[in-house]
Amino acid sequence: MNNKTVMLMEVLNNGQRLQMDDGSIWNSSPGDIPTVCTWIPTATLNVRKSNTDRMFPYVLTNEGINVSVNAMKLK
């Protein structure tokens, strides 16, 4: 997957899961849950592949505040 831009639709399960406007569902890394809980729906996120974390192989960057978290795609 090359870089992709999506819109955050909803933060679920107290920050553990994120639902995007394309219907995808993402699990955020446990250490990043406090960060994700501060994100608001309609935030624009850049999605890119990460080479550093095998369990959470993607990086989601909130473009509005330039903050990144590790995640895995569930659906």
- Please state, as a whole number, how many other Cβ atoms lie within 10 Å of the Cβ of residue 61: 17
pLDDT tens string, the chain, 75 residues long: the values are 578 999 999 999 999 999 999 999 999 999 999 999 999 999 999 999 998 889 999 999 999 999 999 999 999
Cα–Cα distance for residue pair 52/61, rounded to 1 Å: 15
Number of domains in the chain: 1
What's the confidence (pLDDT) of residue 21? 97
Cα–Cα distance for residue pair 28/12, rounded to 1 Å: 10
Beta bridge partners of 26: 18, 73
Chain-centre distance for alpha carbon 65: 13
What's the confidence (pLDDT) of residue 51? 85
Domain that holds residue 69: 4-73
